[in-house]
Amino acid sequence: MPDTITPASYSVGQHIRCTITASPRSKGAESTLVRLMRLDPASKRAMTRAHRERMQNLLVRSRGGRPWCVRERAAKIVRAETGETWTMPFLPKFAPDLNSVAEYLKIEKA
């Protein structure tokens, strides 16, 4: 069993590198990993850029005589697959999430 991460494990704002060592077996664990992966600054930039592009290319049609925006579905920027690595700042509020998926992660200082 991996060590438990407490709010005192790392200093606040310290960057940690997380690597997925095994595929998550449940949908909840997968969604928790994806949510944590979205905290990576590079992923944040990619999601912001993709959102901006989608809004610039927004298709507006007429529906019932009024404008209707046809929104494009967002792409999956991050995927919870074995071997994926990301860096994120540590905050104490992330400790319970990291503990819940600790069996799938290797966590080290960045």
3-state secondary structure the chain: CCCCCCCCCCCCCCEEEEEECCCCCCHHHHHHHHHHHCCCHHHHHHHHHHHHHHHHCCEEEEECCEEEEECCCCCCCCCCCCCCEEEEECCHHHHHHHHHCHHHEEEEEC
**Residue 54 clears pLDDT 60, i.e. is over it:** yes
Query: CB neighbours of 32 closer than 8 A, spacing ≥ 6?
Result: 97, 100, 101
Mean pLDDT (the chain) is: 92
Per-residue confidence at 19, pLDDT binned at 50, 70, 90? Answer: very high
pLDDT score of 2? 55
pLDDT score of 5? 81
pLDDT score of 26? 95
**Residue 51 clears pLDDT 60, i.e. is over it:** yes
**Residue 45 clears pLDDT 70, i.e. is over it:** yes
**Residue 6 clears pLDDT 80, i.e. is over it:** no
CB atoms within 10 A of CB 20: 20
pTM greater than 0.75 (yes/no): yes
